[in-house]
Amino acid sequence: MSLNLFLLLAAYYVIKPVREALILVDPRGAEYKSYMSAVIGVGLLFAVPAYSAFAKRVPRNRVVVTVTLFFASNLVAFYFVGLFYRDQLWLGLLFYFWVGIFNMMVVAKLWALANDLYTDEQGARLFPLIGVGASAGSVGGSIYGIVTRGTDLFVMLLAAAFTLVVVAGLSQLVHRREIRRDAEKTAAAKSPSDAKVPPVPPDGGGAFELVWKTPYLVLIAAFTVLFTLVNTNGEFMIGSLVYEWASGLDAAGLLPAGMDTGQTIKAWFDDFYLWVNGVGLVLQLFVVSRLVKYGGIKVAFFVLPVIALIDATLVGLFPLLLILRYGKIADNSLDYSLNNTVRNMLWLPTTTEMKYRAKQAIDSFFVRMGDVGSAIFVFVMANQLGLGVRAFAAANAVMIVGWIFVAVLILRLRKSLLAERGRGAQNADP
């Protein structure tokens, strides 16, 4: 599982700077990014129910393998389209839309598999280790982008497609391994006390219905919208300042030799993501597991919002690219390591059906609803009112306070769910 997440995140970070380059070469690219995030949210209204219906009828290994290979084939198609329409804005917008769907669905799918494989106790011990694979893969993808700097943007998509094919194969291997292990445990059981507690019966209804009828999931959905809204506002701010920087270099004739504006923007994001992912890897290796072990989820859950609040305050006072760069490195590295691990641990007390269906809805649709909120902010504050980075930073600070409040409520309900599971396990013992 760790190797699988390594390869998946490596492929994503080969793709991600290409996405930025294809859209930010346009003068309104940062604004278009926010609007496209809203379009992605609408697209997920159709994609999530379709995925949920597919996952309900198909074994988990076929879900994982089929979806992964589908996205790999899409990358090959984008490569061939790029041979003829590479300078078209519509292609950059379409690719941005596709990456938004891909990122939400494939990463969530692999974490759902991990949640299904491990108990709450195993997850608390193993998820930080599995997360090391994701963090290391992010670094690997960023390094690959730097090493291949100057390479045609669309050629990078073929490398990512090949990696996804390997991910599909490893997912099938994990499935077979766990099926065999479960069979061995069942055969080794000598008495009812040796067997596992019977699973909770499947929940009825669709993915969204599972969310709406469960207060714990409603709070996770609200938390997801809030932290995504804050993060996407930050992406708009940094996109705006990077475009101004690259345009200034172009106007002054200072672009790196042999590189156009798009490749220069990609190079900036290659370096930026390398720092984000490098710091994230260090945190995952040396901080996350220790923080979860000694501080518990009740401490780990609040580290990112506190740091984000400090960053928003600094950017509000000094709206400069250098300050925003380091602030986003801190925010994103914590998000991809500590926050990602903790967010997935929130699902350990839930049922299998919630993990595979409701989790997909929250990790895709509700994330994009945060992006929709950011698009509204951009339209009103930037487009209509002409406000800049300082105003967005102030708005983020207010929303982070709400984020912290929701986090407190989540941890209270999680404690109740774990207590109920403990009582259920005791009642099941002879």
Write phi, then psi, for 412 (nearest 5 degrees): -65, -45
CB 206, CB 49: distance < 8 Å: yes
89-93, 116-120, 253-257: which range is least confident on average?
116-120
pLDDT of residue 428 exceeding 90? no
Distance set, CA 70 to CA 57, 62, 67, 114, 176 (Å): 18, 12, 5, 21, 21
Report pLDDT for 55.
67
Expressed as residue numbers, the domain containing 386 is 2-179+206-421
* Residue 191 within a domain: no
pLDDT in tens, 265-277: 888 888 898 898 8
Structure tokens belonging to residue 132: 């090391």
Report pLDDT for 202.
47
pLDDT of residue 112 exceeding 80? no
pLDDT in tens, 226-243: 998 999 899 889 888 888
* Residue 119 within a domain: yes
pTM: 0.68
Please count the other Cβ atoms lying within 10 Å of the Cβ belonging to residue 223: 25
Average pLDDT value for the chain: 82
Domain count, the chain: 1
* Residue 197 within a domain: no
152-156, 256-260, 323-327: which range is least confident on average?
256-260
* Residue 76 within a domain: yes
* Residue 195 within a domain: no
pLDDT of residue 215 exceeding 50? yes
CB 332, CB 276: distance < 8 Å: yes
* Residue 387 within a domain: yes
Residues with Cβ within 8 Å of 196's Cβ and at least 6 positions away in sequence, in order, are 185
pLDDT of residue 42 exceeding 50? yes
Most confident of 73-87, 90-104, 215-229: 215-229
* Residue 189 within a domain: no
Distance set, CA 296 to CA 123, 259, 299 (Å): 13, 48, 6
* Residue 201 within a domain: no
159-173, 195-209, 210-224, 415-429: which range is least confident on average?
195-209
pLDDT of residue 283 exceeding 80? yes
CATH number at residue 10: 1.20.1250.20
